[in-house]
Structure 1
Amino acid sequence: MDASDLYDDAARERLVEEPPKRVDAPIRTPFERDRARVVHAASSRRLAAKTQVVGPQSDDFVRNRLTHSLEVAQVARDLSRALGSQPDIAETAALAHDLGHPPFGHNGERALAAISAECGGFEGNAQTLRLLTRLEAKTFDGDRSVGLNLTRATLDACTKYPWGIGEGPFPGKFGVYADDRPVFDWMRATQPGQRRCLEAQVMDLADDVAYSVHDVEDGVVAGRLDLTRLDRAAVAEATRAWYLPDVADETVAEVLDDLARIDIWPSTPYDGSRRHLAALKNLTSDVIGRFCGAVQQATFAAAPGPFVRFRADLVIPEQTALEIAVLKGIAAHYVMQAADRVALLGRQRELLAELVEALIDRGPDALDRPFADDWHAAADDAARLRVVIDQVASLTDASAVARHARLVDGAVASTP
Structure 2
Amino acid sequence: MPGETPAGHSGRAIFAEDPARSRGRLVPEGSSPTRTPFQRDRDRIVHSAAFRRLKHKTQVFVPYEGDTYRTRLTHTIEVSQIARALARAFRLDEDLTEAVALVHDFGHTPFGHAGERALDRRMREFGGFDHNAQSLRIVTALESRYADFDGLNLSFETLEGLVKHNGPLLGPHAGADGGEVRPVPKPILDFDAVLPLGLDRFADLEAQAAAISDDIAYNTHDLDDGLRAGLIDLADIAELDLAGSIHREVKAKYPGLDPSRTIHEIMRRHITRLVEDVIATTGQGLEALQPRNADDVRDAGRQIVRFSPQMEAAVDQTRQFLFHRLYRCESVMVVMREAERVVEALFDRFCEEPELMPRDWSSGLAELSQERLMRRIADYLSGMTDTYAIGEYERLFDAVPQLR
CA shift, 1:78, in A, is 1.4
Contact 1:10 1:152 in 2 (8 A): no
Give the alignment partner of residue 341 of structure 1, picking from 310, 325, 332.
Answer: 332
Code of the residue aligned with 1:367 in structure 2: it is: M
Give the alignment partner of residue 184 of structure 1, picking from 180, 185, 192.
Answer: 192
Which deviations, in whole Å up to 9, do the C-alpha atoms of 1:123-179 show, x marking residues without a partner? 1000000001000123466xxx53100000111111136548xx954558566424x
Identity of aligned residues (%): 31
> Per the alignment, do residues 41 and 377 of structure 1 end up closer, same or farther by CA in structure 2, a change over 3 Å counting?
farther
> Per the alignment, do residues 105 and 258 of structure 1 end up closer, same or farther by CA in structure 2, a change over 3 Å counting?
closer
Contact 2:20 2:36 in 1 (8 A): no
CA shift, 1:229, in A, is 3.3
Contact 2:19 2:36 in 1 (8 A): no
Give me the whole-angstrom Cα distance separating, in 2, the residues matched to 1:172 and 1:192. Answer: 13
Query: 1:23-102 counterparts in 2 under 5 A?
Result: 27-102=34-109
Which deviations, in whole Å up to 9, do the C-alpha atoms of 1:214-240 show, x marking residues without a partner? 1111112222212333485xxxxxxxx
Larger RCO (CA within 8 A; separation ≥ 6): 2
CA shift, 1:92, in A, is 0.7
Partner residue in 2 for 1:299: 285
| Correspondence 1:222 to 2:229 | yes
Structure 1's unaligned 5+ residue stretches are 233-255, 411-416
CA shift, 1:259, in A, is 4.8
Partner residue in 1 for 2:244: 260
Query: 1:167-178 counterparts in 2 under 5 A?
Result: 169=175, 173=182, 176-178=185-187
Structure 1 segments of 4 or more deviating over 6 A?
267-270
Give the TM-score of the pair, scaled to structure 1.
Answer: 0.80
Give me the whole-angstrom Cα distance separating, in 1, the residues matched to 2:25 and 2:334. Answer: 45
Structure 2's unaligned 5+ residue stretches are 1-7, 400-404
Give the total of aligned pairs.
374
> Per the alignment, do residues 319 and 229 of structure 1 end up closer, same or farther by CA in structure 2, a change over 3 Å counting?
same
Answer with 324-333 or 50-59: which moved more.
324-333
Give me the whole-angstrom Cα distance separating, in 2, the residues matched to 1:80 and 1:224. Answer: 34
Contact 2:205 2:305 in 1 (8 A): no
Contact 1:44 1:99 in 2 (8 A): yes
Code of the residue aligned with 2:22 in structure 1: it is: A
Partner residue in 2 for 1:138: 145
> Per the alignment, do residues 6 and 301 of structure 1 end up closer, same or farther by CA in structure 2, a change over 3 Å counting?
same
Partner residue in 1 for 2:310: 319
Which deviations, in whole Å up to 9, do the C-alpha atoms of 1:360-398 show, x marking residues without a partner? 1111x22233322464552x1111000000000000111
Query: 1:150-165 counterparts in 2 under 5 A?
Result: 150-160=154-164, 163=169
Q: CA RMSD in A?
A: 3.0
> Per the alignment, do residues 360 and 349 of structure 1 end up closer, same or farther by CA in structure 2, a change over 3 Å counting?
same
> Per the alignment, do residues 375 and 82 of structure 1 end up closer, same or farther by CA in structure 2, a change over 3 Å counting?
farther
SS at match of 1:57: helix
Contact 1:259 1:265 in 2 (8 A): no
Contact 1:41 1:136 in 2 (8 A): yes
Give the TM-score of the pair, scaled to structure 2.
Answer: 0.83
> Per the alignment, do residues 76 and 107 of structure 1 end up closer, same or farther by CA in structure 2, a change over 3 Å counting?
same
SS at match of 2:27: coil
Partner residue in 2 for 1:241: none
| Correspondence 1:372 to 2:379 | no
Contact 2:31 2:37 in 1 (8 A): no
Partner residue in 2 for 1:356: 347
Contact 1:198 1:310 in 2 (8 A): no
> Per the alignment, do residues 278 and 20 of structure 1 end up closer, same or farther by CA in structure 2, a change over 3 Å counting?
closer
SS at match of 1:53: coil
> Per the alignment, do residues 315 and 70 of structure 1 end up closer, same or farther by CA in structure 2, a change over 3 Å counting?
closer
Answer with 394-403 or 55-64: which moved more.
55-64
